[in-house]
Structure 1
Amino acid sequence: MTGRINVKNLILRFGFIPALLMVLFMGAGCGKNTATSDKTIKVYYVNASETGIISQDYELTSSMDDSDAAITELISVLKEMPDRMQYEAPISGGIELIGYSLHDKLLTLNFNPNYLELGRTIEILDRAAIVRTFTQLDSIEYVSFQIEGTPITDHYGNVIGNMSADTFIYNAGNEINTYEKVELKLFFASSDGTKLVPVYRSVVYNSNISMEKLAVEQVISGPNTDIAFPTLSKDAKVKSINVKDGVCYIDFDSAFLYQPNSVSAEVAIYSVVNTLTELPNINKVVFSVNGESAFTYMDYLINGSYERNLDLID
């Protein structure tokens, strides 16, 4: 494959994956990106050293209300390699986008088989650049990737599923931070809301964020797949979280008590407990809401510590 040969790719060929990625993210915050003007958005690229992504302001010539025109225009921009090679277009080299579809705010991108030739590090950086670019459009909340109609998978063979801007977490600012890529095992609800379904997710995150907070926020964000369903309100916020002697103490705001999903209280609680106890330093979980450690959640009295519950796993 041409256009992507450098020292990092040679390292990847021999099976060594760096544990840390030094990633430069410029001028954006967590959550859905916002345009700096009605038609100005940030287009993301991979930096020349293939260690991070950067953004460039871009003025759309298409109307924001014309989704197909805006998507087509952004695809062309994401294919353009700069003259001075200060960054790399994420859809370049031998990668070709052979089609796309947009339905219910989900943009599905279908690539040719050359996508499989990307090293793991450059692949996730390309994916981060593409997802964060497209999710700035009001008509797009999630992006999924396919290869000739088949959903892409991680290196464990698990389907990655739909990705939002929050899939790629980082802090605002122009500073260089340390980023890591981690595989999380998260638990969500079965279709009838009575069992837990494990979902594996690859996340690139700022190393300043604790692993336990990252895991809980990923549960709050939802499964992004058709095989599992959300367990917690998306409005819930983690006020504080810390680990001591193998016990994770997590304090939510009052939005945690609102349950918009058709799940049992036990499934919702243990989606958090089982997710956190997958982390090697956590054996038990203690809940609180606004500092109160004893409270009623749906019809379930929450008090004391909770250990992993394998009986609920489907």
Structure 2
Amino acid sequence: MPKKISSAILCVIAIMVPMFMVSACTQKQHGTAYKVYYANNQGTSLLENVIFIDENDQYVIAQRLLDSMNSESSKECSVIKPVNVNSPTVEFDSIYVNVYFDSSYYDMKPSTEVLYRAAVVKELCQIEGVTYVRFYVDGKDAVYEDGSNIGNMSAEDFIDSSEGAVADVKWVTINLYYANKTGDALIKTKKKICYNKNVSLEKVVVEQIISGPEERGYYQSVPSSTKLLSISVIDRICYVNFSSEFASDMVNAKSNVTLYSLVDSLVGLDGIDGVKILVNGNSNLMYRDVISLDGIFYMNNEIVEK
């Protein structure tokens, strides 16, 4: 049976590192450094501290981290978890961590809940072997205000900013298209993501496709080695410029599946009707010797599994 631990958990999106915390880290310490997060006194951004833990057991590490997060370290910072929200239990299962709350979780204000949840994910994902975190409330998947499941979360789902605050962060639901198991069609999935509003949504979408799916039953459609060199929208056409790995590296998906995983995901955004794909700034080439990139691609529903 998986082990469980009870603890108070906190939250992070925008991170600020004050000098009083950094200076403490210059002292001689033993063990591995882990980040602990607190809210500023206004509750609009996070303060970051570092503690050192000389342990290898992931449950011991988690307990130490969560206990530290529940204790204020200075007058400049405060614990994020409201006192009326009961401490959760945490269950480790391979690369997943399940965090179980009771119904008091939903008593948090939306701005506090966003910070709290982001901090929990980033905090627990520091532990070796942990990739995803999933929240449960009263034994059921935690949900957003619209009733949709929050699902698996990773540290990369939360965009950090050295100067940002809660107001700079936005939640949005997007449609993403990944390859099916055989790589000959696309499968549509909805994902609610958190991103910094100073970053274009089209850039976030492309990076999500390159990173690949988190849910089972969906498969990589674009080589993960691909680098996004630039992206812009002009006259409702999205121009996406990739590194050479996009064309040279292979993935288990047909050429049209790879291209339309990007096109269909982008055309679903407001303000984008078509997509122009370039490789190192060049569109005068044949992608995998099969499809010419010298044109604009539009939504293709025929390649999507019904």
TM-score normalised by structure 2 residue count: 0.80
1:228 to 1:134, Cα distance in 2 relative to 1, 3 A: same
Give the aligned partner of residue 289 of structure 1: 279
Q: After superposition, give the CA deviation of every residue in 1:97-145 in whole Å (9 maximum; x if it has no partner).
A: 1231231x22222222222232332222111111112222232222222
Give the aligned partner of residue 10 of structure 2: none
What SS does structure 2 have at the residue aligned with 1:45? strand
Give the aligned partner of residue 266 of structure 1: 256
What SS does structure 2 have at the residue aligned with 1:305? coil
Give the aligned partner of residue 8 of structure 1: none
Give the aligned partner of residue 96 of structure 1: 87
2-structure distance, mates of 1:48, 1:292 = 50
1-structure distance, mates of 2:249, 2:51 = 40
Give the aligned partner of residue 128 of structure 1: 118
Please tell me the residue identity of whatever aligns with 2:168: Y
Match of residue 42, structure 1, among 22, 25, 35: 35
Match of residue 179, structure 1, among 161, 165, 168: 168
Give the aligned partner of residue 265 of structure 2: 275
2-structure distance, mates of 1:142, 1:168 = 12
Match of residue 150, structure 2, among 152, 155, 160: 160
- The CA deviation at 1:213 is 0.8
Decide whether the 8 Å contact of 2:84 with 2:104 is kept in 1.
no
Decide whether the 8 Å contact of 2:231 with 2:240 is kept in 1.
yes
Question: Are 2:189 and 1:199 equivalent residues in the alignment?
Answer: yes
TM-score normalised by structure 1 residue count: 0.78
Give the aligned partner of residue 75 of structure 1: 66
- The CA deviation at 1:159 is 2.7
1-structure distance, mates of 2:249, 2:125 = 27
Decide whether the 8 Å contact of 1:186 with 1:201 is kept in 2.
yes
Decide whether the 8 Å contact of 2:170 with 2:196 is kept in 1.
no
What SS does structure 2 have at the residue aligned with 1:139? coil
Give the aligned partner of residue 22 of structure 2: none
Decide whether the 8 Å contact of 1:132 with 1:165 is kept in 2.
yes
1-structure distance, mates of 2:289, 2:86 = 52
Decide whether the 8 Å contact of 1:230 with 1:261 is kept in 2.
yes
> Whose radius of gyration is greater, 1 or 2?
2
Question: Are 2:110 and 1:107 equivalent residues in the alignment?
Answer: no
1-structure distance, mates of 2:136, 2:102 = 9
What SS does structure 1 have at the residue aligned with 2:168? strand
Q: Indicate the larger mover: 208-217 or 88-97.
A: 88-97
Q: Indicate the larger mover: 215-224 or 246-255.
A: 215-224
Decide whether the 8 Å contact of 1:98 with 1:112 is kept in 2.
no
Please tell me the residue identity of whatever aligns with 2:57: D
1:91 to 1:248, Cα distance in 2 relative to 1, 3 A: same
Please tell me the residue identity of whatever aligns with 1:179: D
1:78 to 1:313, Cα distance in 2 relative to 1, 3 A: farther
Structure 1 unaligned spans of 5+: 1-22, 28-34
Give the length in aligned residue pairs.
280
2-structure distance, mates of 1:44, 1:258 = 41
Please tell me the residue identity of whatever aligns with 2:124: F
1-structure distance, mates of 2:89, 2:257 = 41
2-structure distance, mates of 1:142, 1:107 = 6
Q: Indicate the larger mover: 235-244 or 291-300.
A: 291-300
Decide whether the 8 Å contact of 1:44 with 1:132 is kept in 2.
no
2-structure distance, mates of 1:138, 1:145 = 19
1:260 to 1:49, Cα distance in 2 relative to 1, 3 A: farther
Please tell me the residue identity of whatever aligns with 2:87: E
What SS does structure 1 have at the residue aligned with 2:272? coil
Structure 2 unaligned spans of 5+: 1-12, 18-24
Question: Are 2:49 and 1:56 equivalent residues in the alignment?
Answer: yes
- The CA deviation at 1:285 is 0.3
Match of residue 298, structure 2, among 282, 289, 307: 307
Decide whether the 8 Å contact of 2:16 with 2:45 is kept in 1.
no
